[in-house]
Chain A
Amino acid sequence: MKPIYRLFYLSYRVIGGAWYWARRRFTTAGLFVAGGIIVTGATGVDIENTMTYQAFTLLFAFLIFGFVSSFFFRAKFSATRFLPRVGTAGQPLPYRVEIKNLTAKPQTGLTLLENLTDPRPTFAEWLAFQMAESKRVRPFHVAQRRRRNPFRLATLKPAEIPPLAAYGEAEATTEILPLRRGILRLTGITVARPDPLGLFHSFVKISAAQTVLILPKRYPLPPIALPGAVRYQEGGVALAANVGRSEEFVALRDYRHGDPLRHIHWRSWARIGKPIVKEFEDEFFVRHALVLDTFDTEPNSEILEEAISIGASFACTILTQESLLDLLFVGHQSYCFTAGRGLAHADQILEILASVKNCADKKFATLEQLVLNHVSIVSGCICIFQKWDAARRIFIEKLKALNVPLLVLIIVPPGGGISNAGESAVETDGSLHVLEIGKIEETLAKLK
């Protein structure tokens, strides 16, 4: 099978590359002319019974002139992009580009095209996606919803460049529609000029490498009464966050066995002659754990994307001025990020989420261990799962046994559900919600 897939992959690369080239090089009219050449070339072989070959020669001559004229575009430009730092997947990202004409010849009728890095995957990535798709898609069912090409980075909109005077500057507004979260790398800018017939573009390329972070898609969430109550945070916010430490303490008292050495007030000890420790004001506030399940074998899983989107939605919605949010997931290692109450902003969690990938080399138990170690300090847990199986059920039962208030969200493919629902108590107590892809927004809106 592999050689056949190699062949498919090769054709995917060649066709994809050719189409990308054609889309940029030809104008819409030019694409019609190129299509016309193919059709008339095929039908015009019989020159006795059709006149199509004459149409073929004419269309071909148009393109020859377009192609030849592309060698006579000798302009020079420089360009500066005014790009936002971040964008959001699925949301148009408009920005300005300043173009400067570096020659004495005025320029009009130019188009600005953005250059992205080659989004075509390696054979291994492509094969993994095809295998996952072949499992999911039913043969012969042509109309079944197929996944959008997950390797496509963004759709680019060509922008018209206003007329440029000799050595003049102009500002064009263009737009990118990012399709994937993560880092979007722009390699340069191409200035395109059509030929006199308006069919074929000639290019001047400007090197302008830049990146923009694309955050995950977010859903609007209703005001959710998250489970759990305020909990005592030993050491206050500062210690809770493990960054710096507060000198704000309420009193001093005698040292008791077990007090940490860092709490010893040395000056008082020196003055009094016995160990004195600082007593901090007890901190009580809400602290939530956002547990993200990253365990799926499929590298470009649609479910993972949705899980991340939901995670991002919670990160944005929870009022972090008043509470803390810990993001717990497993990637190359186990991660725990805390945001809120001035420690870190939700944006930073989004930036982390923008780069999360599925973890194929570790087991779910790693996440379980991470959460169970952390659970004593949190008020409640929001768990976002990619599937519902025995391991996850046992994990939730353990959390229940620890009296951790829970909100469990399970993402299922369109038309799917969870198997053996109702077997466990956790499935019936109302804390578990099944989110079907395609109906996630409406299901989330019903959460209370």
Chain B
Amino acid sequence: MKTPPFLLLAVLVFWGWQSDLLILGALMGVALESSRFIKTRWDLSTDDFRRLWNFCVLLAGALALYVFSTNEGGGGFGTLVHGSAAGRTATLSGLHTASTLARWMPMMFFLFIAAQNFSERETIPLSAISLIFRRRQQNAVGIKPEWYVNIAYPYFIVCLFSASIHANEGAHTFFGGEGVLLAWALWPLRARRFNFAIWISTFLLALALAYAGSRGIGQLAQLAQNYNAQWMTRWLSSRPDPTQAMTAIGQIGELQMSSAIVIRMETKNGAPPPSYLREASYHSYRSQTWFAGGSHNEFLDIPAAANSGGTAYDLVPGKTNTADVSIACYINGWSSELSVPESLLPLPSGSGRLENIPSSVVAVKQNLTGGVLAAGPGFLIFDARYGAGATLDSPPNTNWDLTVPTNEIPALEQIVAELKISSTNPAQVELAVAQFFANKFTYSTWQRPDKTPHPNETPLARFLLRTRSGHCEYFATATVLLLRELGIRTRYAVGYYAHEADGENQYVVRGRDAHAWCLVWNDTTKAWEDFDTTPGSWVATESQRAHAWQSIKDFFSWLHFQFSKFRWGQSHLRRYILWAVIPMMGFLLYQIVFRRGRKRQAQKSNNKNSGAIPWPGLDSEFYQLETKIAARGLPRQSGEALSDWLARALAENTLADLRAPLAELLRLHYRHRFDPNGLNAEERKSLAQKVNTVLKTLAEK
């Protein structure tokens, strides 16, 4: 069905406007609509349409390749074949490729729609578009009539869809534009039994409903984001924000923790695993939230270690690392700057060097509080070398690392008084604090509602003075602030506590192993050291939360792990698949060739059979005479009977003596050619001989 006048122009202008290709869109629209005024038409066959379609598809493929390559989209061909060597900066950006292609679709298929509009039939044969349809048409029993379709409306839909592929900037231009265009498109298709007033009021009501709906969707998404930001990001999404850590301090009820495996570790040579895997540390505490006092911009690129081929990074240059652990973790965050997954790496305390970083990692960065950010694949396996001594954290800063929020000071002073610490030796102070928490506090993930409200009491004060029961965030926060109150520089660290073995030298870390603890500055060694006051019973308490079907969940977790390895190119499976695919493709190719070969053979033998029955008379020697006489400047016209031509050719006086023998020969030739009984052997021989004689005579003349 044809579109109403100028609808294609309008939609292409709209697409151009929305995609910042206004002039191009307008030109394309004018070109298409000009077919209403220009009456010249091309006689395009099904084959022509097929070639045009193939061209458009190839163009789409080439554009996809172009967009893919300009994205530096890796994880694809290069890394598939060459492994780690090729794709240093490569990371899959398929989403970007797909959206760019979707936006360019009107351009890709413009030639095809233009061919339709300027063709005589003004429709497209279906077999030009679909290979399967074409084959079936060819193989169909009997003659199958060709189906023709007008693709103007589908093209309109494609343009409208492409126009919608751009960032949501809050403007209503798209909604208004699509409303007008859809009204324009639907008007000719309306039900004729209703008058204009009913139609337009229905349309406007639908428009209003849709507007409310789209606003509602926007608000719903916003709500979901906020909801997520409040607590889901902290406890369900396993990666913390490097700039701040919102704690669950003060929340009432049961703390929900996931038992999904989030990290897998493998130690070398039977060495024990690192107990703490730190992701980030923070130094300022305000309103139940810890801050690192900066932003993403404070992350600085870590250059790849020399002579490592870009696979190793020195976090603490010159450090002697004594232990080595292989860590596999998911990269769950997203870098809006690089448009790739990005998150903090869980690293053992005292990590000095990262090795075997895959080539798909685009950037490795660190901030001042010891967070290491990796961007690139959604899953990462690497080796961390670590040891006691220097860490990559910045040295203590008096402004941050001794600061206690004023609203927490009264409670802390009460505790300091209760501790009755006389020594100023940090080690003794730490010991006293550790004993204080171990003896007087219990671990609990449950916070009961406060029956006697204390309006000015902070949740931490409540924990320290009254409930004395809480989860690791309470202990870590309280310890950090208490030690600061006692003059020791501390920071708040978050990460995981690794304790669960899973086979020889292998360990798993679950979501519920997420932990918070304290970092204490050791003036003697000039290094930050882990200091954990959470009662040791917390591991057992958390483990009790394991479900009966834990092993089934672990199996799926393992499947997810294996799939992630494959998905993000961290296994050799991709290459195995490539090698598995090659024989499969070979087999398919063999099938195709085999079938084709048979078909060709069959066709050949058919041709042979049809050639075995030659048209009678085609071997007549008379044709030699015809060629010879024509060479004398008297060619036979197309459609001219031989006898007429001969009469014309022999009008020349020099050939007068040939008239009689040629007339006789023509008669014989005609008989040889058309007489159902043909010539007998003698006559056939006579024809050949007589032609030869005349040829000789002609040669002499």
Co-assembled chains A and B: yes
Chain A, range 44-83, C-beta contacts under 8 Å to B: 44, 47-55, 57-58, 60-62, 64-65, 69
Asked whether, in the complex, the Cβ of B202 is within 8 Å of the Cβ of A65, the reply is: yes
B131: nearest chain-A partner, CB-CB: A143
| Contact segment of A190-198, A239-247, A311-319 | A190-198
> Which chain B positions have C-beta within 8 A of A140?
588, 591
User: Is B221 among interface residues, defined by CB-CB distance under 8 A?
Assistant: yes
Map CB proximity to A onto B132-173 as digits: 1 under 8 Å, 0 otherwise. Answer: 100110111110000000000110010011011111100000
Pick from B1, B168, B588: contact of A51, CB below 8 A: B168
Pick from A53, A62, A108, A437: contact of B192, CB below 8 A: A108
> Which chain B positions have C-beta within 8 A of A419?
none
> Which chain A positions have C-beta within 8 A of B99?
49-50
Pick from A28, A44, A64, A142: contact of B132, CB below 8 A: A142
Asked whether, in the complex, the Cβ of A108 is within 8 Å of the Cβ of B193, the reply is: yes
Kindly state the separation between the CA atoms of A40 and B213 in the bound complex, as whole angstroms. 14
Kindly state the separation between the CA atoms of A47 and B166 in the bound complex, as whole angstroms. 10
Asked whether, in the complex, the Cβ of A51 is within 8 Å of the Cβ of B164, the reply is: yes
Kindly state the separation between the CA atoms of A60 and B168 in the bound complex, as whole angstroms. 20
Kindly state the separation between the CA atoms of A197 and B174 in the bound complex, as whole angstroms. 21
Asked whether, in the complex, the Cβ of A141 is within 8 Å of the Cβ of B174, the reply is: no
Map CB proximity to B onto A176-195 as digits: 1 under 8 Å, 0 otherwise. Answer: 00000000000000000111
User: Is B688 among interface residues, defined by CB-CB distance under 8 A?
Assistant: no
> Which chain A positions have C-beta within 8 A of B198?
196
User: Is B217 among interface residues, defined by CB-CB distance under 8 A?
Assistant: yes
> Which chain B positions have C-beta within 8 A of A28?
1, 189
Given A61-B209, A141-B591, A141-B595: A52 and B217 within 8 A (CB)? no
The distance from the CB of A194 to the nearest CB of chain B, in whole angstroms, is 4
Asked whether, in the complex, the Cβ of A55 is within 8 Å of the Cβ of B164, the reply is: yes
Asked whether, in the complex, the Cβ of B217 is within 8 Å of the Cβ of A58, the reply is: no
Given A51-B166, A143-B135: A57 and B210 within 8 A (CB)? yes
Given A196-B202, A197-B202, A438-B142: A54 and B175 within 8 A (CB)? yes
Asked whether, in the complex, the Cβ of B164 is within 8 Å of the Cβ of A196, the reply is: no
Asked whether, in the complex, the Cβ of B210 is within 8 Å of the Cβ of A54, the reply is: yes
> Which chain A positions have C-beta within 8 A of B549?
none
The distance from the CB of A24 to the nearest CB of chain B, in whole angstroms, is 16
> Which chain A positions have C-beta within 8 A of B186?
29, 62, 197-199
User: Is B214 among interface residues, defined by CB-CB distance under 8 A?
Assistant: yes
Asked whether, in the complex, the Cβ of B167 is within 8 Å of the Cβ of A198, the reply is: no
Asked whether, in the complex, the Cβ of B191 is within 8 Å of the Cβ of A54, the reply is: no
Interface size on A, residues (CB 8 A): 49
> Which chain B positions have C-beta within 8 A of A27?
189
> Which chain B positions have C-beta within 8 A of A49?
99, 166-168
Give how many A-B residue pairs fall within 8 Å (CB-CB): 146
User: Is A32 among interface residues, defined by CB-CB distance under 8 A?
Assistant: yes
The distance from the CB of B542 to the nearest CB of chain A, in whole angstroms, is 35
User: Is A414 among interface residues, defined by CB-CB distance under 8 A?
Assistant: yes
The distance from the CB of A8 to the nearest CB of chain B, in whole angstroms, is 20
User: Is A365 among interface residues, defined by CB-CB distance under 8 A?
Assistant: no
Asked whether, in the complex, the Cβ of A50 is within 8 Å of the Cβ of B164, the reply is: yes
Asked whether, in the complex, the Cβ of B213 is within 8 Å of the Cβ of A57, the reply is: yes
> Which chain A positions have C-beta within 8 A of B154?
32
Asked whether, in the complex, the Cβ of A48 is within 8 Å of the Cβ of B168, the reply is: yes
A438: nearest chain-B partner, CB-CB: B141
Pick from A110, A144, A197: contact of B203, CB below 8 A: A197
Kindly state the separation between the CA atoms of A62 and B591 in the bound complex, as whole angstroms. 49
Asked whether, in the complex, the Cβ of B166 is within 8 Å of the Cβ of A198, the reply is: no
User: Is A109 among interface residues, defined by CB-CB distance under 8 A?
Assistant: yes
> Which chain B positions have C-beta within 8 A of A145?
136, 139-141
Chain A, range 314-372, C-beta contacts under 8 Å to B: none
Asked whether, in the complex, the Cβ of B168 is within 8 Å of the Cβ of A47, the reply is: yes
Given A27-B189, A196-B190: A50 and B165 within 8 A (CB)? yes
Kindly state the separation between the CA atoms of A145 and B138 in the bound complex, as whole angstroms. 9
User: Is B6 among interface residues, defined by CB-CB distance under 8 A?
Assistant: no
User: Is A36 among interface residues, defined by CB-CB distance under 8 A?
Assistant: yes
User: Is A418 among interface residues, defined by CB-CB distance under 8 A?
Assistant: no
> Which chain A positions have C-beta within 8 A of B142?
438, 441
B193: nearest chain-A partner, CB-CB: A109
Given A58-B178, A61-B213: A52 and B136 within 8 A (CB)? no
B225: nearest chain-A partner, CB-CB: A48
Kindly state the separation between the CA atoms of A441 and B217 in the bound complex, as whole angstroms. 62
Kindly state the separation between the CA atoms of A147 and B207 in the bound complex, as whole angstroms. 45
Asked whether, in the complex, the Cβ of B174 is within 8 Å of the Cβ of A51, the reply is: yes
Asked whether, in the complex, the Cβ of B191 is within 8 Å of the Cβ of A198, the reply is: yes
User: Is A391 among interface residues, defined by CB-CB distance under 8 A?
Assistant: no
Kindly state the separation between the CA atoms of A296 and B264 in the bound complex, as whole angstroms. 61
The distance from the CB of B176 to the nearest CB of chain A, in whole angstroms, is 10
User: Is B615 among interface residues, defined by CB-CB distance under 8 A?
Assistant: no
User: Is A445 among interface residues, defined by CB-CB distance under 8 A?
Assistant: no
User: Is B333 among interface residues, defined by CB-CB distance under 8 A?
Assistant: no
Map CB proximity to A onto B198-242 as digits: 1 under 8 Å, 0 otherwise. Answer: 110011011101110110011001000000000000000000000
Closest 4 CB pairs of A and B: A143-B135, A109-B193, A57-B213, A438-B141
User: What are 19 A-B residue pairs whose CB atoms fall within 8 Å in the complex?
Assistant: A32-B153, A47-B221, A48-B221, A50-B99, A57-B209, A57-B211, A58-B179, A58-B206, A61-B213, A65-B202, A65-B205, A69-B202, A107-B193, A109-B192, A141-B595, A193-B191, A196-B198, A198-B191, A437-B141
Chain A contact residues, CB within 8 Å of chain B: 27-29, 32, 36, 39-40, 43-44, 47-55, 57-58, 60-62, 64-65, 69, 107-110, 138, 140-146, 193-199, 414, 437-438, 441
